[in-house]
């Protein structure tokens, strides 16, 4: 399990330093011991300050989970940075963003920290506690209590400001000192002469109770546990005796009122209850420490040790009891091939490898293979081929043509089964700046991460997961990867079409869109190059014949005017380049004309109209079709395939719907009788730009979707 220790040591990372500062500190040595203990328990551990950057750090380390996935856990030992009710700050943030954590919630921490409210709750629940009063001024003090008195701040912990006074004058001095230093009301309660007993608790419903620990103060100093004692700055040493020497009846009673105090404030997982026993054997609850010290000299760990738990066992037990409270089981789910069905197995395999997936994605994203980079594509093919070999897939020579197409299959082949298609090249222009892999809490960025790398990692872990649960080679499954997407599949189209004809269903691993939709219909696209040549003309010289740029500009408006929403037809112009000599008007213009279409007959008619617009002219021009990517038409097979995917998505609460798209893909190469769906890759944004990114959670969602689909519907005819 991923566990983050959230603490406050000396953080000033806030928007403003404002209000009462926190004086409590947890030692870095203790954080180190907790970290080592958790790692010894098999957990993946990070430690973060509980400051304004906490949510971003948590989200990066343990991003949003999918249905059935156990999220990470925070081991909260944060005392807060500043302001009121500081113990509640981090738990409140964790509640808000939905991250489970060890320890009490904001309400219990707030009640325990407010000693006055806590004592009122004790009284309401019949829990004995010393008589007390609350003072809001030091100038006029009237209390109906018996001296000596304990004086302490109302809302502090670790014995800050605590002192014993024996008369009115000393009381007034102590109250003034506390108000000046802590800027809050003062709790005054009758001092119980006698013994101090601490009771530690762990767990819930009901909590387990450690043997009581007695604090032995010796002869020097007051018989109370001061801040100086706790931080080992006093000139005396406090000793502990555990179990405390009590009669059986007293032993059971002190544990019982400790449990009652714990439950009355609504504490979870752990706490330490401080109790005084007077000379007559009566017990009084002083307070509940909802964040008990985990320092090696604290009474909480001494009691745990007497109960048979060393430090490592205590820390890991706290994770277990918090897990039981949130998830109903003290342990994360384990992969058990003999006793678990395939759905659970593949889910467990994938959710336990989120970090691995992102590391592999980083590795692939930092491997450059733009469409015009033959060396990069060669390296990417080597890497992909090694991965397929390690998974145990075999090459299919009939549908491979190095270096443009490679196809693999399971032992059952893929006739009548499923064909998965993706591309290895990154189809971005040379002029576009590259970007290295980086992450933020919601998105992963990098060159081609949405167009190519995200779908590739998704495929890799689907195949590895199916192999791990021994399902891969039972499926008729083929994998086809091509390397000329940026060249409009000029070399691979024929192989893709023939391979798709052999399968009964084709899933195209193109990126998903921001609306979590898959594509069942795509327009085709024809790309033309128009080259216009005229004689060079001097600026300002009158001429009957237009220059190349003027002539082309007049034609552009007529050509783009052929667009028709009704006919699902768009004509657009891009990449206009002109050439001219110094002090002369452009004599050559080259541009790209794009025709997006739904029906071939309309595309043919549009081409004829474009040629008519260009017409016979004194201007010399050449119109050449560079590529024709056929449309992916909406067929019953596409609809059926989309319904199956939606059914699987609903089972795992993965957002999924369907739509049509203007952009062409290899979906148009799939034969009529074969069902096809495109856009099954992770949700992506800013494609073809330096800001290209994939949504982190969608990588896992879409990987699980594909794996579950293949398990359920991958058997073919």
Mapping DSSP onto H, E and C, the string for 418-465 reads EEEEEECCECCCCCCCCCCCEECCCEEECCCHHHHHHHHHHHHHHHHH
Indicate the Cα dihedral angle 256, 260, 263, 268, nearest 10°.
-40
SS3 of residue 571 by DSSP: strand
CA angle 299, 302, 306 (to 5 degrees): 140
User: Which tens digit of pLDDT belongs to each residue from 557-573?
Assistant: 999 999 999 999 999 99
Structural tokens at position 482: 């091509």
- Asked whether residue 336 carries a pLDDT value surpassing 50, the answer given is no
* 226 compared with 60, residue with greater pLDDT: 60
pLDDT score at 163? 85
User: Which tens digit of pLDDT belongs to each residue from 424-471?
Assistant: 999 998 888 889 999 988 999 999 999 999 999 999 999 999 999 999
Residue 12 — pLDDT band, cuts 50, 70, 90?
Answer: confident
pLDDT score at 159? 55
User: Which tens digit of pLDDT belongs to each residue from 94-129?
Assistant: 999 999 999 999 999 999 999 999 999 999 999 999
Running DSSP on this structure, what letter comes out for residue 349? H
Residue 144 — pLDDT band, cuts 50, 70, 90?
Answer: confident
* 329 compared with 183, residue with greater pLDDT: 183
Q: What percent of the chain has pLDDT over 70?
A: 95
pTM of the complete model: 0.77
Class of domain 347-522+632-713: alpha beta
Burial class (CB in 10 A: 0-12, 13-18, 19+), 664: buried
User: Which tens digit of pLDDT belongs to each residue from 212-268?
Assistant: 999 998 767 667 766 556 556 556 778 899 999 999 999 999 999 999 999 999 999
Class of domain 111-130+192-327: alpha beta
pLDDT score at 117? 95
Domain spans in the chain, listed from the N-terminal domain onward: 2-102, 111-130+192-327, 347-522+632-713, 524-629
pLDDT score at 334? 37
d(CA 351, CA 341): 16
* Record: fold of 2-102: Rossmann fold (3.40.50)
Residue 335 — pLDDT band, cuts 50, 70, 90?
Answer: very low
User: Which tens digit of pLDDT belongs to each residue from 591-647?
Assistant: 999 999 999 999 999 999 999 999 988 899 999 999 999 999 999 999 999 999 999
pLDDT score at 66? 85
d(CA 79, CA 85): 9
Cis bond leading into 226, ω under 30°? Answer: no
How high does pLDDT run on average in the chain?
91
Residue 329 — pLDDT band, cuts 50, 70, 90?
Answer: low
Instruction: Give the count of alpha carbons within 13 A of 479, CB side only.
Output: 27
- Asked whether residue 290 carries a pLDDT value surpassing 70, the answer given is yes
- Asked whether residue 694 carries a pLDDT value surpassing 80, the answer given is yes
Pairing of strands 418-423, 505-508: parallel
Indicate the Cα dihedral angle 633, 636, 641, 647, nearest 10°.
130
In angstroms and rounded to an integer, the radius of gyration of the C-alpha atoms of the chain is 36
Running DSSP on this structure, what letter comes out for residue 22? P
Mapping DSSP onto H, E and C, the string for 650-703 reads HHCCCCCEEEEECCCCHHHHCCCCCEEEECCCCEEECCCCCCCEEEHHHHHHHH
Residue 316: strand pairing partners = none
Of 216, 326, 218, 224, the C-alpha closest to 269 is 326
DSSP characters over 250-266: HHHHHHHHHHHHHHHTT
* Record: fold of 524-629: Alpha-Beta Plaits (3.30.70)
Structural tokens at position 191: 């001092």
pLDDT score at 284? 96
pLDDT score at 67? 84
d(CA 254, CA 578): 92
d(CA 115, CA 555): 83
């Amino acid at each position: 399990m991923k566990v983050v220790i959230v603490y406050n040591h000396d953080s000033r990372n806030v928007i403003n330093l404002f209000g009462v500062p926190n004086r409590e500190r947890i030692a870095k040595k203790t954080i180190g011991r907790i970290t080592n203990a958790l790692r010894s328990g098999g957990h993946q551990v990070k430690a973060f300050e509980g400051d304004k950057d906490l949510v971003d750090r948590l989200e990066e380390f343990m991003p949003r989970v999918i249905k059935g996935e156990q999220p990470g856990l925070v081991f909260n030992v944060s005392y807060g940075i500043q302001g009121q009710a500081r113990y509640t700050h981090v738990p409140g943030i964790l509640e808000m963003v939905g991250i489970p954590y060890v320890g009490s919630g904001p309400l219990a921490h707030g009640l325990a920290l407010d000693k006055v409210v806590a004592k009122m709750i004790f009284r309401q629940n019949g829990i004995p506690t010393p008589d007390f009063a609350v003072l809001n001024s030091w100038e006029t003090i009237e209390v109906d209590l018996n001296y000596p008195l304990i004086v302490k701040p109302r809302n502090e912990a670790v014995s800050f400001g605590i002192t014993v006074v024996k008369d009115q004058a000393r009381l007034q001095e102590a109250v003034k000192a506390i108000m000046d230093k802590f800027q809050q009301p003062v709790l005054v309660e009758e001092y119980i002469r006698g013994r101090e007993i601490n009771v530690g608790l762990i767990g819930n419903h009901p909590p387990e109770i450690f043997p009581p620990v007695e604090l032995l103060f010796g002869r020097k100093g007051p018989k109370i546990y001061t801040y100086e004692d706790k931080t080992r700055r006093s000139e005396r040493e406090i000793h502990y005796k555990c179990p405390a020497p009590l009669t059986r009846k007293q032993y059971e009673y002190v544990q019982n009122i400790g449990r009652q105090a714990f439950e009355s404030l609504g504490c979870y997982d752990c706490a330490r209850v401080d109790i005084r026993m007077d000379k007559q054997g009566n017990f009084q609850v002083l307070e509940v420490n909802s964040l008990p010290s985990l320092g090696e000299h604290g009474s909480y760990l001494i009691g745990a040790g007497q109960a048979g738990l060393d430090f490592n066992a205590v820390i890991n037990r706290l994770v277990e009891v918090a897990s039981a409270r949130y998830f109903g089981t003290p342990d994360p789910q384990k992969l058990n091939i003999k006793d678990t069905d395939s759905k659970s197995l593949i889910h467990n395999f994938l959710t336990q490898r989120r970090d691995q997936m992102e590391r592999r994605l980083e590795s692939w994203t930092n491997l450059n293979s733009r469409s015009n980079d033959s060396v990069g594509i060669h390296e990417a093919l080597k890497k992909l081929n090694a991965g397929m070999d390690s998974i145990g897939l075999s090459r299919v020579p009939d549908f491979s043509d190095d270096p443009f197409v490679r196809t693999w299959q399971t032992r059952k082949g893929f006739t009548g089964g499923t064909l998965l298609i993706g591309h290895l090249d990154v189809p971005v222009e040379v002029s576009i700046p590259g970007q290295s892999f980086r992450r933020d809490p919601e998105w992963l960025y990098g060159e081609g991460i949405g167009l190519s790398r995200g779908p590739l990692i998704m495929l890799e872990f689907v195949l590895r997961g199916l192999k791990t649960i021994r399902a891969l080679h039972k499926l008729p499954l083929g994998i086809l990867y091509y390397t000329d997407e940026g060249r409009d599949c000029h070399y691979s189209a024929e192989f893709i079409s023939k391979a798709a004809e052999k399968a009964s269903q084709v899933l195209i691993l193109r990126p998903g869109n921001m609306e979590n939709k898959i594509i069942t219909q795509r327009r085709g696209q024809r790309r033309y190059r128009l080259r216009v040549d005229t004689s060079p003309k001097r600026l300002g010289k009158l001429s009957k014949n237009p220059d190349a740029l003027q002539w082309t500009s007049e034609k552009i408006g007529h050509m783009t005017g052929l667009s028709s929403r009704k006919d699902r037809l768009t004509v657009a112009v891009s990449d206009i380049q002109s050439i001219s000599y110094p002090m002369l008007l452009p004599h050559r213009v080259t541009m790209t004309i794009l025709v997006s279409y739904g029906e071939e007959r309309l595309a043919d008619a549009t081409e004829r109209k474009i040629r008519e617009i260009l017409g016979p002219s004194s201007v010399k021009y050449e119109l050449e079709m560079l590529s024709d990517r056929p449309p992916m038409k909406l067929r019953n097979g596409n609809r059926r395939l989309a319904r199956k995917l939606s059914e699987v998505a609903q089972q795992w609460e993965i957002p999924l719907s369907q739509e049509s798209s203007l952009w062409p893909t290899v979906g148009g190469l799939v034969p009529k009788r074969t069902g096809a769906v495109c856009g099954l890759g992770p949700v992506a944004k800013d494609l073809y730009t330096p800001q290209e990114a994939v949504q982190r959670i969608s990588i896992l969602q879409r990987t699980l979707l594909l794996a579950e689909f293949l398990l359920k519907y991958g058997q073919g005819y």
